[in-house]
C-alpha cells in the first residue's frame, strides 16, 4: 500500500511542476534545433548576409539562389544529377531492407534457441560494438577487393548487412516474446521461417523500425569514396560535396543548400517512423 501511495504521489504533479517540465523540454528542444535552423537559414541567405559579424541565425532577405546555383552546377556535370540520387536511394533502401532481414534471422536463434557456444557468440557481438568503423575499414577494403567488388553497389551494401547493433537490438526485443507462443506455432506445423516472418517479425516492430532509421541515415550519408571511383556509381553526398566546394568560400551558401538536400530524406523517414515506434512500444508488447 505504501508503494502504491508513493507512485500515486509521484504521478500527481502540480501545475507548477508540469509547467517547469514543459519549459525545460521546450528550452532543450530549441537549443538542439539551432544547428538545423541555422543550416536551413544559411541555405536561403544571399551572399552579402553569409559573412556578417556577428553571424545571424535567421535570414533577412531569403532567396533560393543557392539552390538554383547548385542545380546549375549539376547540369554542367558529365553525369546527370538524377543518377547520383538514384545511387544513394538504391543503396540506402537495399541496405536497410536486407540488413533488417539478416539481423532478424540471426537474432532469432540467439534469443529463442539453445545451442553450444550461444553465449560466446553473443559476447563477441556485444564486444564488436566497441569498435569504431575506422578500425574495420582496412579489413573491409581487403575483403571487398579480394571479391572483386570495387566499383559496384555491393561494395557499399555488403558491409552494411552485418552490423552488430541491429543484431543486438533485435535479439533483446525477441527475448520479450514468450516461448510458449513459438512452441504453439511449432505444434501447428509452422516452419522456422514461417515463425520468424509471420510471428516474430511483427512483434519486434519497434526494433526494426529503429534499426531502419539508423541504417538508412548512415547509408544515405556515406560517400563510398573508398570503394567507388566510377563517376556513374558515386553517391549523392560525394557529388554534392564536389559541386559545393568547386568555388571554395564563394559557394558557402551552395554548401548549405547541399546539406539541406541531404538532410531531407532521413528527417522524413524519422518523422514517419517515430509515431509507429512510440505506438508499438506502448501497445504491442507481449506478456506471458
Instruction: Tell me the DSSP string of 110-157.
Output: HHH---TTHHHHHHHHHHHTT--HHHHHHHHHHHHHHTT-TTSTHHHH
Query: Tens digit of pLDDT for each residue in 207-262?
Result: 888 888 888 888 888 888 888 888 888 888 887 777 666 555 556 777 788 888 88
Query: Tens digit of pLDDT for each residue in 7-49?
Result: 444 455 677 778 888 889 899 988 888 888 888 888 888 877 7
Query: Tens digit of pLDDT for each residue in 66-79?
Result: 888 777 776 766 77
Q: How many CA atoms lie within 13 A of 280 on its CB side?
A: 16
Q: Which pLDDT value is given to residue 14?
A: 75
Quote the radius of gyration of the chain (alpha carbons, Å): 24
- Confirm if 167 and 125 have CB atoms less than 8 A apart: yes
In the predicted model, what is the mean pLDDT of the chain? 79
- For residue 9, what is its C-alpha cell? 504521489
Give Cβ neighbours of residue 84 (< 8 Å, ≥ 6 apart): 234, 235, 236, 238, 239, 240
Q: Which pLDDT value is given to residue 94?
A: 92
Average pLDDT over every residue of 40-62: 79
- Confirm if 224 and 214 have CB atoms less than 8 A apart: no
Q: Which pLDDT value is given to residue 267?
A: 84
Locus of grid cell 548549405: 256
Average pLDDT over every residue of 98-109: 88
The number of residues in the chain equals: 288
- Confirm if 238 and 77 have CB atoms less than 8 A apart: no
Residue 175: pLDDT over 50? yes
Residue 139: pLDDT over 80? yes
Angstrom CA distances, 22 to 9, 26, 27, 261, stand at 19, 6, 9, 32
C-alpha to C-alpha distance for 157 and 219, rounded to whole angstroms:
9
Residue 5: pLDDT over 60? no
Give the predicted TM-score (pTM) of the model.
0.76
Determine whether 261 is exposed, middle or buried from the number of CB atoms within 10 Å of its CB (0-12, 13-18, 19+): middle
Q: What is the CATH number of domain 72-283?
A: 1.10.3720.10
Proportion of the chain above pLDDT 90, given as a percent = 2
User: Lowest-confidence range among 50-64, 85-99, 266-280?
Assistant: 266-280
Exposure letters 123-145 (e unless 16+ CB within 10 A, then b): eebeebeeeeeeeeeeebeeebe
> What are the boundaries of each domain within the chain?
2-63, 72-283
Amino acid at each position: 500500500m505504501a508503494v502504491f501511495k508513493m507512485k500515486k504521489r509521484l504521478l500527481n504533479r502540480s501545475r507548477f511542476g508540469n509547467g517547469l517540465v514543459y519549459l525545460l523540454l521546450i528550452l532543450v528542444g530549441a537549443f538542439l534545433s539551432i544547428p538545423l535552423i541555422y543550416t536551413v537559414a544559411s541555405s536561403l541567405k544571399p551572399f552579402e548576409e553569409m559573412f556578417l559579424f556577428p553571424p545571424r541565425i535567421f535570414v533577412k532577405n531569403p532567396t533560393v539562389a543557392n539552390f538554383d546555383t547548385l542545380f546549375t552546377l549539376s547540369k554542367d556535370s558529365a553525369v546527370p544529377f538524377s543518377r547520383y540520387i538514384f545511387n544513394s536511394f538504391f543503396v540506402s533502401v537495399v541496405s536497410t531492407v536486407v540488413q533488417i532481414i539478416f539481423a532478424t534471422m540471426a537474432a532469432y536463434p540467439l534469443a529463442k534457441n539453445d545451442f553450444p557456444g550461444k553465449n560466446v557468440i553473443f559476447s563477441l557481438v556485444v564486444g564488436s560494438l566497441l569498435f569504431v568503423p575506422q578500425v574495420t575499414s582496412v579489413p573491409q577494403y581487403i575483403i571487398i577487393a579480394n571479391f572483386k567488388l570495387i566499383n559496384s553497389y555491393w561494395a557499399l551494401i555488403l558491409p552494411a548487412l552485418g552490423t552488430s547493433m541491429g543484431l543486438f537490438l533485435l535479439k533483446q526485443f525477441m527475448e520479450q516474446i514468450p516461448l510458449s507462443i513459438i512452441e504453439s506455432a511449432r505444434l501447428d506445423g509452422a516452419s522456422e521461417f514461417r515463425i520468424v516472418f509471420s510471428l516474430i517479425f511483427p512483434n519486434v516492430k519497434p526494433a526494426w523500425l529503429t534499426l531502419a532509421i539508423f541504417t538508412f541515415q548512415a547509408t544515405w550519408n556515406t560517400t563510398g569514396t573508398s570503394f567507388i571511383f566510377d563517376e556513374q556509381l558515386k553517391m549523392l553526398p560525394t557529388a554534392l560535396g564536389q559541386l559545393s566546394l568547386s568555388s571554395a568560400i564563394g559557394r558557402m551558401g551552395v554548401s548549405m543548400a547541399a546539406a539541406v538536400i541531404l538532410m531531407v530524406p532521413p528527417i522524413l523517414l524519422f518523422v514517419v517512423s517515430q509515431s509507429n515506434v512510440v505506438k508499438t512500444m506502448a501497445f504491442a508488447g507481449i506478456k506471458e
